[in-house]
Chain A
Amino acid sequence: MNAWTTLGLERTGDVVEIRRAYARKLKATDVDADPDAFIALREALNRALGEAFAAEQRRIDHADADAAVQTPAEGVWQQPEPVDTIEENAVAAPDEASLPFIRLDQLLFGQASAEPAELVAAVQAILDHPNMDHVDRRPAVEHWLAQALYDAIPRSDVLTPMIAGHFGWAAELDEIHQRPLIAFMAQRASDLGCIERLRNPGHRWHAAYAKLAEPAPAQLSLKDQLDLMTPVAQLLNSLRIHDPGVEYMLDERHVALWDREIVVNPQALGAQATGISWYGWLVIAWAAIWAVSLLGLLL
């Protein structure tokens, strides 16, 4: 059945009219006795509201297109400051609350690169503001920061783990309903954390990572291949399973050079696993002693 007949209504774009028709029909429905009737009614409401919304959207788009034709180019140069999302009239007269945002904006997108300490201080000023407790301001600030971090990669990398930690973005990665931008930045923060660990000389793949982080040579030296084939293969394999983003932060051509060698030497990845274990050696040693003693008997 058509949504409009279910609602007992002529097709209309009037949302209030649609909801009123739904209310009328709902009162005539015994939801407990006939849940299917309710489900059908609810679906009709959603579809009718959807159609009304789409029609309204088309109307607005047309109106915008007309307006755009009438007022040439003018608006294009006045790109709203990112600050806009926080405080409505920030552009006209930046009030006290929007100053930290303007400051961070300048540091992230200015000509000269900023000191990490300066960046951290600018972010801290935003996070410590009492506005951050407000349930409307907080998501707005969160979104603004995520967008700024995204736009300022890689300059924002010093800030990403800090801000991700403050808002608990890591949890977003485990959710089914992700906000794409937040999930992207959470992944970035996790990738940066991974690189931070690989930079530690004590890490077992540190040497492999340090080699991959170098600019690509014309071809791999034999010494590197002999020393690093196994750890590089293991590192790349592990990254591809657990932190796929990290691979894209490495020199693509350098990775490709190693990949070509790894494909030719598939044993590199499993070098340790296919080695003979200690009890294997025990068996071999026992066989050798037995053979020697047998030889001794024969002689």
Chain B
Amino acid sequence: MIVGIDLGTTNSAVAVWRDGKSILIPNSIGDMLTPSAVSMSDKGEVLVGMAARERQATHPHLTATAFKRYMGTQQTVKLGGETFSAEDLSALVLRALKADAEAWLGETVESAVITVPAYFNDRQRKATRRAGEMAGLKVERLLNEPTAAALAHGIHEKEDKQPFLVFDLGGGTFDVSIVEIFEGIIEVRASAGDNRLGGEDFNDILIDLVRARFPALAGDASDSRLREIMRAAAERTRRALTGVEAAPFSFVWNGEAYETEVTGAAFEEAGAALIARLRDPVLRSLRDSGIVSDSLSEVILVGGSTRMPVVRRAVTRMFGRFPGTGIDPDHAVALGAAVQAGLRARDAALDEIRLTDVCPFTLGVDTTEFDRNGRMHHGMFSPIIERNTVIPASRVHPFSTIQDNQRAVQFGIYQGEARNVAANVKLGEVSVPVPPRPAGTVRIDCRFSYDASGLLEVDVTVPETGITRQLVICDEGAPDEKDLAARREALAALKVHPREDAANAALLARASRCYESFLGERREHIGQLILAFETVIERQEPREIERARRDIEERLNALEGERFL
């Protein structure tokens, strides 16, 4: 069975293609979305999802969230003595989703289509694929998130559709894609984005805005526990601002209650710089596809952060019209991933549908150029696959030697849009020996092949000698097969909190967080609730536990408002 997985910065989701449509799979506590959070319990067990998210504010040193932002980097976090990379943490989330899907489907899940931001670079993509493999999934395809959303949206379109724009602002990344449907071919015309812009950045500016109002907190500015407590409060305020003009921002720190009010206008003003960053990718995707926005048939909003009124207003100003509201911004990507899974499995219902995507980056090598004055400039970027080329693609570019009797030619492989390779992302290096000849007389062919998952292969050939070399990844972070096997074992050896108990763990974690964020009588009340619930759990009466859970949930809702994902 192939499932489709949306591995998000804030939340993840899993869906499956069945009986001619995409269906979201609920997790062990009945939610369609699973928070992308991992926490170590006090007993040294791994918690994933809601329980882990709730522990972010109470146990910041044992909890990791938003790790997708560090995908493909060397950065690690320590949780209770164990060291994890973003890849490991993602693998734990994927493993939990796999277990949820297997429990719901009643069959084993061997493989998955996993979505990535369109603007994820080669390193981030490879890291995502490795995370899938460590979770015991064969990664059939890495699918771009806006493309997945377009697929979920376009699958019901029987008619041809004029180009539409997918505006995907998630928890940590921003993508824009322009998509067209013609004769059942869903074709991405152009993608652009910013892989460091999302809802988390809006939380940060909200925290900074509020912090300035409490000079007393200046001394604790770098305290990670305060940061997480304020982040949780910011998330709640930001969501409340979706519906009202002004919302309270309240938290408890060192036994003292802090409360203030944030207006939508103040938030919008503080976020102006972030809002301005939304414009460039939109302009670029339109320019690259040669489409004017007036001829777009629709603007589709995807990603939870597009619920923010500030973002909706910015979109309305940019396009001079209101964006479409046809699809659920939180579910579209997972649903689209399931469509792709159906396509991979050659489902008969999808016989007349095909999807083509583009590579949103320019890929090339470093070369030496001579300017008008005959000066040599090293490290100039020479593109081989231009951005927004339809993939899979394969291009060859001939180069020649620059020195007499040169013995070898070395290519640095880069991805990016800058003339100078130093400002681009280096993906690897490949070197090939050449016969000694006068400068400029030896030809070297450099071939780039870009597959449908957005992964690159490079080979370099000297036609005269027939010698060929393939790309050697210089990425120090990339582990070899042995490392991978060792890490897979290490992850498998971790004790995992039992799936059946996830709902109880999530509720207890939430109650503990509430305990810390209230004072006085209400705090005592919550303390009693926790004690009572723990006694009920010990009695192991499923029906009684269920009833107690619902009761406590209602009481907590009354105290702090509904739980959200």
Task: Mark A residues whose CB is within 8 Å of B.
Answer: 19-20, 22-24, 26-27, 31-32, 35-36, 38-39, 42, 130, 133-136, 138-139, 173-177, 240-241
Contact = CB atoms under 8 A, between A and B. Distances in A.
A133 B356 CA distance: 31
B320 interface: yes
A134 B185 CA distance: 30
Given A32-B452, A39-B393, A176-B381, 5 more contacts: A19-B182, A32-B344, A134-B319, A134-B320, A175-B419
Contact of A35 (B183, B373, B451): B451
A225 B282 CA distance: 56
B362 A19 contact: no
Contact of A20 (B183, B293, B317, B319): B183
Given A36-B394, A133-B318, A19 B418 contact: no
9 contacts: A20-B183, A23-B354, A31-B392, A39-B392, A39-B393, A138-B279, A174-B420, A176-B418, A177-B362
Contacts of A174: 418-420, 423
B102 interface: no
Given A19-B183, A26-B185, A35-B451, A136 B418 contact: no
Interface in B398-426: 417-420, 423
B117 interface: no
A176 B417 contact: yes
B383 interface: yes
B485 to A, nearest CB: 27
Interface in B339-382: 344, 351-352, 354, 356, 362, 373, 375, 381
Contact of A136 (B294, B383, B452): B294
B392 A134 contact: no
Given A35-B392, A176-B383, A27 B184 contact: yes
A35 B393 CA distance: 8
B292 interface: yes
Given A20-B183, A27-B352, A176-B383, A135 B418 contact: no
A177 B354 CA distance: 30
Nearest to A23: B183
Contact of A175 (B183, B344, B356, B417): B417
Contacts of B356: 26
B392 A38 contact: yes
B525 interface: no
A43 to B, nearest CB: 10
A42 B320 CA distance: 35
B418 A175 contact: yes
A-B pairs, top 8 by smallest CB distance, nearest first, are: A23-B183, A35-B392, A133-B317, A135-B318, A135-B293, A136-B293, A23-B185, A136-B292
* Residue picked from A23, A26, A136, most chain B C-beta under 10 Å: A136
B286 interface: yes
B354 A176 contact: no
A175 B380 CA distance: 11
A22 B293 CA distance: 26
Given A42-B390, A135-B293, A23 B283 contact: no
Interface in B430-445: none
Contacts of A35: 392, 394, 449, 451-452
